[in-house]
Amino acid sequence: MSKNLRVKTSKFIDETYKVSFKFNGTTYYGYKGDTLASALLANDIHLVGRSFKYHRPRGIMTAGSEEPNAIVQLHNNTSRTEPNVRATEIEIYEGLEASSQNCWPSVNFDIGGINNFLSPILPAGFYYKTFMWPANFWEKYEYFIRKSAGLGKSPTETDPDIYEHKYIHCDVLIIGAGISGIMAARTAAKNGFKTLLVDEKSYLGGSTIYQNSEQFKINNQISNSWLEKEINEIKKFENLEIKTRTSVAAFHGYNFLLARENLTDHLPLDQRINKTRQRLLKIRAKKVITATGALERPLIFDNNDRPGILLSSAIEKYANLFGVACGEKNVLFTNNDSAYETAISLYQKGINIEAIIDNREEIDSKLIKETEKNNIKIYKGFTVVNTFGYKRINKISIMQLSKDGQKVVGSKISIACDCLGISGGWTPAVHLFTQSGGKLKFRDEDQVFIPDIYPSDQISIGSCNGDFTLDEIISSIPNKLKEFLNIKKTDYENLEIYSSFNKSKRNIWLLPSDKVIGKTKPFVDYQNDATAKDIKLALREGFRSIEHVKRYTTTGMGTDQGKLGNMHALGIISETAGSKMGELGTTTFRPPYTPLTFGTIVGRNVGEFFDIFRKTPVHDWHVKNKAEFENVGQWKRAWYYPKDGENMHEAVQRESKAARDSAGILDASTLGKIDIQGTDASEFLNRVYTNAWSKLAIGKCRYGLMLNEDGMVYDDGVTTRLDENHYIMTTTTGGAATVLGKLEDYLQTEWPELDVYLTSVTDHYATISVCGPSSKKIVSQVIPELDFSDESFPHMSFKNAKIDKIKCRVMRISFTGEHSYEINVQANYGKSVWEKCMEAGKEFNITPYGTETMHLLRAEKGFIIVGQDTDATMTPIDLQMDWIVSKKKYDFIGKRSLYRSDTIKDDRKQLVGLLTENPDEVLEEGAQIVADIKKSPVEMLGHVTSSYYSPNLKKSIALGVVRGGKNMMGQKLIIPMENKQINVTVADPVFLDKENKRLNA
């Protein structure tokens, strides 16, 4: 049975509220307020996981979000499972189930542990070097590498939780509710600023709140009770919002920040139903105060990664905040005064300390004297050279450091222990500051990077600014806040501070050992198993940039982003390469500071809200009549309407035939529609289309082609002159928004003198196209008052009409080559007009057809689809559409580019028709076109852009672009496919009704 290491509990733990949870299948108990880590430690469990590469046993190392080792999988094999959760952050709740990661079959016996013994042949870059050759073996290697890589398992079921996004605007955002953040919050709130205070923890007060020691006093009160009163004060402000369990993930330019607010992760599963789990806060703050504190540094020595080795500050926190002893025989190892704070805390709680190993030789701070008073043995000027114990530390050996700190001297002393606390000083948490674009400077005296140049209206205060001692923090904050917030005074002037902390420190990045470096395992990045040896190897192999060394050794690339070890990596690089720390720079700190769930990132944009989709006014009819839909941009367009058991091909063949034999009906509502008005409307159209518009009579329609300024086809469509100064332009479905944008651009920036107004009316009208030989009879029934005779209503003309009392516009235009009409009616009448057409067309076998049939019908006529038969490299000349390019017009968008040296080349890719030797063989769109298959390398002449089986011509037809194709009429070409070659002949792209007789049929 496991031991109980709970000592005198603290007020942060509710001892009356027992919580049961499972770890690796065994049930344990903790108290409300515990994290998974503190509850495990209370049960004397240190071994939590295995390391990434060597599968070494690893234990809990920290007590916060910087944890590299103790990462677990929650609720394995359920829809709520989550990998890589830090045991040091997750609060326990009744029914929590956690399991170890990266080990098989169990954390106690892990087969992968063999990698530890193979480590001499698994150096940095091992995978890069080994699995490169032979190249085609990669597929085989990959399977095994992928299997052994990766930490947790991602969920396979749909996430049952709800996530949301929220915007917050505030005057002052304060990140971190430690002593500095609390002081800032009170000052900002008291001066009337709309203030938001966030902290990733569940409680306020940072590390000061559990610093229960006579050694740290403010105005003669112990620092934690002073702070507690401050916290009670700030809770009274109405203009101050406090969010705990809220971690700032990203700090972008212009004081735009993203934070994750965790709302239910600490609740039992049955209490989470219908609640929002996490909220992504999008914060825009006028001013930002960063008070993110500092992270304690580990020390780098041989086997510094064993379970039972923790940061000294973590041991203090477990004792003071959670009332948990991390061991019964504790040893502390330090290069600064912080470990003595821990020692005093442990002593007060009655937790045994075997010894303190201090790198420093001459030390005499008040804190140390206090420690010595308690009869704790201190080894001054010593270092740990090795540790022992596979799944839990059981012994260390120490030696004396030489004067220069480069070697160890004297004889080894062994000390038995079950817990080792290490303290290498502090690293300001400048991650968010640098994310925002801030520049750091290096402070030599204690080897830290601190904020230097602020890119926006923000400051860093407290230990994230390099002020580590209580007196430094408290004495600097009032002036900083006064200047930053532009206020006269704070409540914190002339506070009396007592702090026995001394700043002296003996910084040695890589501690010396009695063994040579190749024989030791001093871990720098715990999660990714990068050792000092790996970093030195990278330097020997020629890597110099910190960014390269990072990628080669994977230092700092774990889920913890190297929060602990990055500074040591830098230190070791600079010492080895002989460069100065400040000049070396740091790797880039990228968002998020701690990992975010995908759920938080997408918020409510899941399922049908993942992307909006647009429905035409006739949509419900299509659904009712079992249309299959196709996505065109954001539109859902009816694709084809399968009748009982038909597949797509069969449906399209039937629809296409019906449209030409009698009547077809298409919902064309998605076409872009732009209303153009103004006295210069005609002139404007002249400038944006390739053809001439000034002479278009009122009531007439014209097809137009629009180019980019580089001469390439951009969009096409029919534009109708409704009145002297009033046109309605149609664009392609996909191009509607960009065409409007482009036209506005020219109007506003190049031709502001033109009197033209553009309005998008795409959604205002339903467009119903009725085509085929019977189309006239059908529309005559729908609109009996209108004269549909060819004399009165010829092809390419328009009439206003009324259906019942509803105004509509009727255009006689055709995209199929058939006699056809387009009825445009106010959107909300679209469906009823459609139904009227269906009713009137019944006797003519009117057949609804979708986009696929539309594409087939237009391909029979050789009409292009911009974006399918063209890409951004086709001019109208390439499309054999010279007829639409006005020679008379002085200028239009793209005109000059049509005779650039490149656009007048003969061997550009040009649009041609393609007929297969075997009329039943349908080409694959996108297939390559070649002339000579034997030539090496085979010269690609072009590709197939559109291809169909035409039921009206009873043969396969295709369009394609072929280099110099215009002059290849009748020539034979080859389409090489995987298993065969298809012979084709270059043909006229107009396959059907070259004389356009059907338009008036």
Using CA atoms, how far apart are residues 521 and 517, in angstroms rounded to an integer? Answer: 8
Is residue 165 at the binding interface for another protein, with CB under 8 A as the rule? no
Report the site for another protein in 254-293 (rule: CB under 8 A): 254, 256, 284
Q: Which window, 39-47, 117-125, 698-706, 895-903, contacts another protein (CB under 8 A)? A: 895-903
Closer residue to another protein (CB): 441 or 900 = 900
- With both helix axes pointing from N to C terminus, report the angle between 338-348 and 366-373 in degrees, rounded to the nearest 10: 30
Distance of CA 505 to the CA centre of its chain: 41
- With both helix axes pointing from N to C terminus, report the angle between 566-577 and 546-553 in degrees, rounded to the nearest 10: 120
Q: Which window, 10-18, 337-345, 346-354, 746-754, contacts another protein (CB under 8 A)? A: 746-754
CA within 13 Å, CB half, 455:
15
Is residue 496 at the binding interface for another protein, with CB under 8 A as the rule? no
Is residue 166 at the binding interface for another protein, with CB under 8 A as the rule? no
Q: What is the CA radius of gyration of the chain?
A: 38
Is residue 661 at the binding interface for another protein, with CB under 8 A as the rule? no
Closer residue to another protein (CB): 437 or 585 = 437
Closer residue to another protein (CB): 234 or 747 = 747
Is residue 133 at the binding interface for another protein, with CB under 8 A as the rule? no
Q: What is the closest distance, in whole angstroms, from the C-beta atom of residue 486 to another protein in the complex?
A: 21
Closer residue to another protein (CB): 259 or 481 = 259
* DSSP annotation of 339: H
Q: What is the closest distance, in whole angstroms, from the C-beta atom of residue 737 to another protein in the complex?
A: 9
Closer residue to another protein (CB): 95 or 253 = 253
- In order, the DSSP letters of 375-410 are T-EEEETEEEEEEE-SSS--EEEEEEEPTTSSSEEE
Closer residue to another protein (CB): 249 or 339 = 249
Q: What is the closest distance, in whole angstroms, from the C-beta atom of residue 897 to another protein in the complex?
A: 7
Tokens of 28: 């344990």
- Compute the Cα dihedral for 502, 508, 509, 510 and give only its sign: negative
* DSSP annotation of 110: B
Contacts (Cβ under 8 Å, ≥6 apart) of 845 = 658, 661, 662, 663
Is residue 123 at the binding interface for another protein, with CB under 8 A as the rule? no
Contacts (Cβ under 8 Å, ≥6 apart) of 51 = 58, 69, 102, 305, 526, 527, 529
Closer residue to another protein (CB): 437 or 919 = 437
Is residue 741 at the binding interface for another protein, with CB under 8 A as the rule? yes
CA triple 621-626-631, angle to 5 deg: 85
Is residue 887 at the binding interface for another protein, with CB under 8 A as the rule? no
Residue of 133, 143, 883, 890 that binds another protein (CB under 8 A): 890
Strand (E) positions, 189-324?
A: 195-198, 216-218, 221-222, 240-243, 246-252, 256-262, 276-290, 294-296, 309-311
CA triple 75-76-81, angle to 5 deg: 60
Binding mask 751-780 for another protein (x = CB under 8 A): -x----------------------------
Is residue 745 at the binding interface for another protein, with CB under 8 A as the rule? yes
Q: Which window, 219-227, 516-524, 738-746, 910-918, contacts another protein (CB under 8 A)? A: 738-746
Using CA atoms, how far apart are residues 671 and 651, in angstroms rounded to an integer? Answer: 23
Is residue 703 at the binding interface for another protein, with CB under 8 A as the rule? no
- In order, the DSSP letters of 950-974 are ETTTTEEEEEEEEETGGG-TT-EEE
Residue of 895, 908, 909, 998 that binds another protein (CB under 8 A): 895
The secondary structure element, H or E, covering residue 800 is strand 797-803
Q: What is the closest distance, in whole angstroms, from the C-beta atom of residue 749 to another protein in the complex?
A: 5
Q: What is the closest distance, in whole angstroms, from the C-beta atom of residue 257 to another protein in the complex?
A: 10
Residue of 373, 896, 994, 997 that binds another protein (CB under 8 A): 896
Q: Which window, 103-111, 216-224, 744-752, 941-949, contacts another protein (CB under 8 A)? A: 744-752
Q: What is the closest distance, in whole angstroms, from the C-beta atom of residue 887 to another protein in the complex?
A: 11
Is residue 886 at the binding interface for another protein, with CB under 8 A as the rule? no
Closer residue to another protein (CB): 1 or 453 = 453
Is residue 194 at the binding interface for another protein, with CB under 8 A as the rule? no
If binding means CB under 8 A, how many residues of this protein chain bind another protein?
23
Using CA atoms, how far apart are residues 483 and 152, in angstroms rounded to an integer? Answer: 47
Tokens of 684: 């404007």
Is residue 908 at the binding interface for another protein, with CB under 8 A as the rule? no
- Residue with structure tokens 């948990």? 324
Q: What is the closest distance, in whole angstroms, from the C-beta atom of residue 434 to another protein in the complex?
A: 14
CA within 13 Å, CB half, 271:
10
C-alpha distances (whole Å) from 588 to each of 68, 548, 556, 982 are 19, 12, 10, 54
Using CA atoms, how far apart are residues 596 and 452, in angstroms rounded to an integer? Answer: 29
Q: What is the closest distance, in whole angstroms, from the C-beta atom of residue 605 to another protein in the complex?
A: 14
Strand (E) positions, 417-467?
A: 419-423, 426-428, 439-443, 448-453, 458-460
Is residue 784 at the binding interface for another protein, with CB under 8 A as the rule? no
Q: Which window, 212-220, 357-365, 566-574, 890-898, contacts another protein (CB under 8 A)? A: 890-898
Is residue 748 at the binding interface for another protein, with CB under 8 A as the rule? yes
Q: What is the closest distance, in whole angstroms, from the C-beta atom of residue 133 to another protein in the complex?
A: 40
Q: What is the closest distance, in whole angstroms, from the C-beta atom of residue 896 to another protein in the complex?
A: 4
Contact status, residue 652 vs residue 852, Cβ threshold 8 Å: yes
Q: Which phi and psi (to 5°) does residue 831 adopt? A: -70, -40
Contact status, residue 194 vs residue 172, Cβ threshold 8 Å: yes
Q: What is the closest distance, in whole angstroms, from the C-beta atom of residue 809 to another protein in the complex?
A: 25
Contact status, residue 727 vs residue 721, Cβ threshold 8 Å: yes
Is residue 252 at the binding interface for another protein, with CB under 8 A as the rule? yes
Binding mask 450-479 for another protein (x = CB under 8 A): -----x------------------------
Q: How many CB atoms lie within 10 A of CB 690?
A: 25
Q: What is the closest distance, in whole angstroms, from the C-beta atom of residue 748 to another protein in the complex?
A: 5
- Residue with structure tokens 């106690």? 108
Closer residue to another protein (CB): 165 or 795 = 165
Q: Which window, 127-135, 588-596, 776-784, 893-901, contacts another protein (CB under 8 A)? A: 893-901
Q: Which window, 226-234, 663-671, 889-897, 930-938, contacts another protein (CB under 8 A)? A: 889-897
Q: How many CB atoms lie within 10 A of CB 454?
A: 17
Residue of 749, 887, 936, 970 that binds another protein (CB under 8 A): 749
Residue of 270, 891, 920, 995 that binds another protein (CB under 8 A): 891
Q: What is the closest distance, in whole angstroms, from the C-beta atom of residue 507 to another protein in the complex?
A: 33
Is residue 439 at the binding interface for another protein, with CB under 8 A as the rule? no
Q: How many CB atoms lie within 10 A of CB 2?
A: 11
Closer residue to another protein (CB): 255 or 264 = 255
Query: Using H for helix, E for strand and C for coil, what is the string for 212-236?
Result: CCCCEEECCEEHHHHHHHHHHHHCC
Q: Which window, 563-571, 616-624, 741-749, 763-771, contacts another protein (CB under 8 A)? A: 741-749
Binding footprint of another protein on the chain (CB under 8 A): 252-254, 256, 284, 437, 455, 709-710, 741, 744-745, 748-750, 752, 890-891, 895-897, 900-901
